[in-house]
Structure 1
């Protein structure tokens, strides 16, 4: 009986350790909602998930920012600011500003992008 009690009382600690070692974005987003936002906002006109179009593929974006603590905030600013970007053709234009103003929805979208392997 005591062994079972010890194991059961250690389970929450073990779960906490496992969660603390996971990337923050890995457990904090809704993938279905993130992809739905991406599609509704028309992001796939210029970006592919796996293939580069006028803009980089989202898997490339995730790889570029993987492990960088400022990644999420940088990408949120990018989709909200309309700053100038260089297209694959070499031309420059202002990045289209995301239409939604729901900060949680934008953050979820970025977390979904950053989760791509």
Structure 2
């Protein structure tokens, strides 16, 4: 097999295997967000105590893997966050260790 054909086959395999291309399961993502307490502080299109998911999406969308990684860290690790009013509080972690569920939630947030 010639190198250009091999490279074309490899590129096709990578594109088809990339789960980031898949449409997120909105119902599953919203259920995980609700079960994890995210909806207490975040609305989809309206800010509450924390920014809306639309604002979060605008902040991280288009930053490819770097943005996805930062958002993933934010939702999976317990960290201190600064709120709009200047106060700080501990940001809870999503209540799942399932990689597929977490990827779906990240994709759904970025799709807002």
Whether TM exceeds 0.5 here: the answer is yes
User: What secondary structure does 2:63 align onto?
Assistant: coil
Hey, what's the Cα distance between the residues in 2 that align with 1:35 and 1:25? 18
Q: C-alpha root-mean-square deviation of aligned residues, in Å?
A: 1.8
Q: Which runs of 4+ in 1 moved over 4 A?
A: none
TM score, norm. by length of structure 1: 0.72
The alpha carbon displacement at 1:46 in A equals 0.7
User: What secondary structure does 2:44 align onto?
Assistant: coil
Shift in CA distance, 101/54, structure 1 to aligned 2, threshold 3 Å? same
| Other-structure match for 2:83 | 87
| Other-structure match for 1:60 | 55
Give 5+ residue unaligned stretches, structure 2: 1-11
Give 5+ residue unaligned stretches, structure 1: 1-15
Give the count of matched residue pairs: 95
1:104 to 85, 100, 105: 100
